[in-house]
Structure 1
């Protein structure tokens, strides 16, 4: 996990996320786009409750994550999340492969298959929202504090221990939930996938089953810049 820091030029955004934030930070650093932030932990640490509220700020319950976060705020010259004057770009909550872990969903299969309509049902939607309640609370608080928030969808890559059907459906549930909160969602699936619906090989990190590479980070950065960041 590598936090990032750029020059003394005023930052355009705060990047806060899991390991999927890495390629975004590397792309911005290479392009000379001023920002502060980076990964603060693993995706599985940012689904259920993972922070406490302190006035207009959050305190991450994992000390390492909070230490990184405090460092980023210091670099931006603010004391809390509510003091941000730049947009917040985040990948938190979008590690859908953790939600899609195979054993989590065996009980819902009948003779190896999900019942018709299950993955688009209110039950499935409710389960996924409950599993990501901490992330949704984080984005909700950010909006209550008046921040502009952009959430970046994950690379379309599913490791062997995860269910591809659940991965695809779960990320759509998370996307809908964030849009309901007013979050801008960076969704590059039409440009980053092939006919299978999964990430194009040239956008995948080599010798890795989950992450996007620098080229994918550049695509995300280009989208962010097109949005005025």
Structure 2
């Protein structure tokens, strides 16, 4: 084996990785904007600029692809909101940390935010995808339960509390992306406070 063959091998690995990444990026945009049922493998192939047969070299079918993508997106979201989480902080401080993590995620991964929002209860999610999502929800449920135990968070079902905040947040970023709202630090601070007001006990 010479250096030329090693370099060629490295280049082939890069091409392979790039093709897989391009397929995932194309699928993400299409699933987020058109939904699972409105997206076909040929559409993904056209957007990724690969042959349809190439997709099947990396993913057995569209269902496999959507599950791989869902797991990657949820893990990235969970890592973003949990990084540096103030375990010893107040309920309000912890809320602010999670909210600001959501803002960072939306700024960097807006299609992933929409994708998670629209696919989290989908019929085609497999066991691993549901387990990955459950880990994220367990973290949020634990936060809500602690807040309720301390008498700081409203005594509503945790899923309802999460939906109030995440649903409003996602809709707001839809309006920002559409140009109907201008994203500013002041706006985000006011939205954070409004979301907090919606779930805290008065």
How high is the TM-score relative to the length of structure 2? 0.36
**RCO higher in structure (CA 8 A, sep ≥6):** 1
Choose between structure 1 and 2: higher strand proportion: 1
How high is the TM-score relative to the length of structure 1? 0.32
Choose between structure 1 and 2: higher helix proportion: 2
* Larger of the two Rg values belongs to structure: 2
